[in-house]
A and B are shown apart, each in its own frame.
Chain A
């Protein structure tokens, strides 16, 4: 079975540009999560969706960040305008439930803002 698919795997862009990260969750998973991973802060939850509806976006750092899930098989995380401090690895994960069920992670997008 296909796992969580993220694209692109790597993104390098200049400060001020719009960045869009994409995620396809595992079919049948009702929960989708976006995380950011840095050496300093570890793995941080940004936002999560249940049945395509955003439930908790308290981890989104600023208004420059936005996320959408237009259908059960696709989600985007957008940064506009991007800043160098946004450089990190961004992960998408999906699960059947947020608790006891495991979260299945994609391989991440390594984002570098110059």
Chain B
């Protein structure tokens, strides 16, 4: 069974700081999705990475897919309170039928 390990589990920082969160697996990902979930809402897709070594940017968020497609990172530059939320990574299962989610990183950005 493919498992997605996310770290750190919790992160509390001040506005303006930079941060990186990680998603790792012992298996190779066919693709990887990053979601953000705000309190009281469902997860919302931020980005999908497919190719090993791929880097995607979404404003102050930079997503990187490892060369071996077994890990991914999300870097946030100059964090803002609006970035607060639960960041989840997800990958398609080996049968190609459903998504498996990591437990997420809970980020709190205070002003």
Contact = CB atoms under 8 A, between A and B. Distances in A.
Interface stretch (A11-19, A60-68, A74-82, A101-109): A101-109
Interface residues of A, number: 20
Interface in B9-65: 30-31, 33, 40-45, 48, 50
B31 A105 contact: no
Contacts of A107: 40-42
Given A99-B31, A100-B31, A105 B42 contact: yes
A40 B48 CA distance: 26
A103 B99 contact: yes
Sorting the interface of chain B by its residue count into under 10, 10 to 19, 20 to 34 or 35 or more gives: 20 to 34
Contacts of A42: 101-104
B33 A56 contact: no
Given A91-B42, A107-B40, A98 B98 contact: yes
A32 to B, nearest CB: 11
A55 B102 CA distance: 22
A93 interface: yes
B28 to A, nearest CB: 15
A53 interface: no
A38 to B, nearest CB: 10
Interface of A: 4, 33, 41-43, 45, 48, 55-56, 91, 93, 98-100, 102-103, 105-108
Interface of B: 30-31, 33, 40-45, 48, 50, 88, 92, 96-104
30 contacts: A4-B42, A33-B99, A42-B104, A43-B43, A43-B88, A43-B103, A43-B104, A45-B99, A48-B97, A48-B98, A55-B97, A56-B98, A91-B43, A98-B96, A98-B98, A98-B99, A99-B31, A99-B92, A100-B48, A102-B33, A102-B45, A102-B48, A105-B42, A105-B43, A105-B44, A106-B42, A107-B41, A107-B42, A108-B40, A108-B42
